[in-house]
């Protein structure tokens, strides 16, 4: 069971993923609320890009040319955000998110209470500025 009374307790999760067997598709369903928050920010900031996958625990966004742009995925111990533009252009990362960086293009999140929406939105917008350059 997920946090807060099961994996479908959150309204947007219940609405978007009705009928999906979360036990088979999500590595750790206790991160569903955090994943929902982070993936919503990424989707909202990635308007105009192709959403290739939007399933419980996995969001994959591509550029118009089919190149990977962003992925938000539940892992065993965290929710990872993978940004290909950040791999090539590390300067796009806002200072406030530097503690979350765990690889050249990876950020790790473990707690819902962190207020990172402004910084994450800024990061996505910075990455969009480099979309034609990688």
Q: What is the pLDDT of residues 46-64, one digit of tens each?
A: 999 999 999 999 999 999 9
> Which residues have a Cβ under 8 Å from the Cβ of 3 and sit 6 or more positions away?
9, 30, 32, 33
Q: Does residue 72 lie within any of the structural domains?
A: yes
Of residues 24 and 7, more confidence is placed in: 24
**SS3 state of residue 80:** strand
User: Nearest CA to 47 among 27, 20, 69, 77?
Assistant: 69
The length of the chain is 134
CA atoms within 13 A on the CB side of 108: 10
Q: How many domains does the chain have?
A: 1
Tokens of 78: 């965290």
Residue 134: pLDDT band (50, 70, 90) is: confident
pLDDT at 57: 96
Q: Does residue 1 lie within any of the structural domains?
A: no
How many of the other CB atoms lie within 10 Å of CB of 23? 8
Give the tens place of pLDDT for each residue, 92-124. Answer: 999 999 999 999 999 999 998 668 999 999 999
Q: Does residue 42 lie within any of the structural domains?
A: yes
Specify the CATH number for the domain of residue 90.
3.90.1150
What is the reported pTM? Answer: 0.80
Which residue range is the domain that position 26 belongs to? 11-133
Q: Does residue 120 lie within any of the structural domains?
A: yes
Q: What is the mean pLDDT of residues 60-81?
A: 97
pLDDT at 112: 81
Give the tens place of pLDDT for each residue, 15-34. Answer: 444 455 554 568 899 999 99
**SS3 state of residue 58:** strand
């Amino acid at each position: 069971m997920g946090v807060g009374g099961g994996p479908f307790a959150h309204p947007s999760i219940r609405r978007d993923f009705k009928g999906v067997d979360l036990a088979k598709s999500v590595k750790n369903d206790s991160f569903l609320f955090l994943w929902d928050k982070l993936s919503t920010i990424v989707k909202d900031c990635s308007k105009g890009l192709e959403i290739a996958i939007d399933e419980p625990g996995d969001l994959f966004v591509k550029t118009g040319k089919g190149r990977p742009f962003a992925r938000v995925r539940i892992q065993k111990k965290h929710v990872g955000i993978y940004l290909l533009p950040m791999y090539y252009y590390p300067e796009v990362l806002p200072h406030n998110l530097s503690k979350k960086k765990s690889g050249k293009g990876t950020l790790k999140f473990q707690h819902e209470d962190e207020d990172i929406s402004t910084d994450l939105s800024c990061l996505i917008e910075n990455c969009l500025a480099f979309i034609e350059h990688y």
